[in-house]
Amino acid sequence: MTSPAEFDTVTARFEAIRAESGRTQDALVPRSIMRGIAAGISRAPTLRRTNPLKSHQQRDLWGQLADEATARPEHVGFVLLGDEGLRELAERLGARPTTLADRLAGWGRTRPRMLQAFHGRKVGGVAPLLAVQVPAATDLVLWAAVTRSTLDVVDGRFPHPLLVADAVERLAMLGTTGPVYETWPLLDDAVEDLGAAIARKGGEPPRRRLETGRKR
């Protein structure tokens, strides 16, 4: 089954960033950062004005979908499916196809949109599911790639992956991205500021992966 044009566009952006950095995909955006994105996306609905996840089953299903969307950095927030489409995704998530279809439709109607489903041309009156995108994951994989490819203007090093992981988890919870910081102290400050923003929304900031020991 072919991939959506939107997927091809964002993967091209990711590859351009990776090529310019001269590093592999996993070195640029390692697993620690992908786990941070997944963790933040899983908790993000709790900070919305109206939480769309009304049961443990829905929260679990959303968390599994977040894991699927962040399985590989080069997938850039997309879950690509084969010929079985919805049935394949339901099997991967351990859900009934009808239940999953309802959930995908509902999460696709939220504002801002929690996910985007892409369908192919109708065959026998049915449009097969090609892919599911979690837009927040797409934005944050690209943000992390740019951030990790930017050398610190003071010490000439790339930002520590655990510091970036702390940032992306908080950004994912807040449904936003940020600027690329030119020094790690600025990024460290941003992590603290994002935690404070989460607390103001009534949430609990996640525990940090990297304690720098730095005080403002």
Question: Phi/psi of residue 92, each to 5°?
Answer: -65, -35
Q: Which residue type does 156 have?
A: G
pLDDT reported for residue 185: 94
- Tell me what pLDDT residue 13 has: 98
User: Taking the model in full, what pTM does it have?
Assistant: 0.95
Contact 109, 115 (CB under 8 A): no
What pLDDT, on a 0 to 100 scale, did the predictor assign at position 135? 98
Residue 114 and residue 36: Cα distance in Å, rounded? 17
Average of pLDDT values for 42-53? 94
* Mean pLDDT in residue range 135-141: 98
Q: Which pLDDT does position 126 carry in this prediction?
A: 80
- Contact between 18 and 25 under an 8 Å Cβ cutoff? The reply is yes
Region of poorest pLDDT, from 113-117, 133-137, 150-154: 150-154
Residue 214 has pLDDT above 90, yes or no: no
166: number of CA atoms within 13 Å, CB side? Answer: 21
Q: What's the pLDDT band for 4 if we cut at 50, 70, 90? A: very high
Measured from the Cβ of residue 9, the count of other Cβ atoms closer than 10 Å reads: 10
pLDDT of residue 178: 87
The proportion of the chain whose per-residue pLDDT surpasses 70, expressed as a percent, equals 100
pLDDT band at 121 (very low <50, low <70, confident <90, very high): confident
Q: Which of 22-31, 101-110, 150-159, 201-210 has the lowest mean pLDDT?
A: 150-159
Whole-number Å distance between alpha carbons of 33 and 160: 10
Q: What is the pLDDT of residues 53-105, one digit of tens each?
A: 989 999 999 999 999 999 999 999 999 999 899 999 999 999 999 999 999 99
Give me the amino acid identity at 199.
A
**pLDDT higher than threshold 80 for residue 123:** no
Measured torsion, CA atoms of residues 65, 169, 31, 57, in degrees rounded to the nearest 10? -20
Mean pLDDT of 190-205: 96
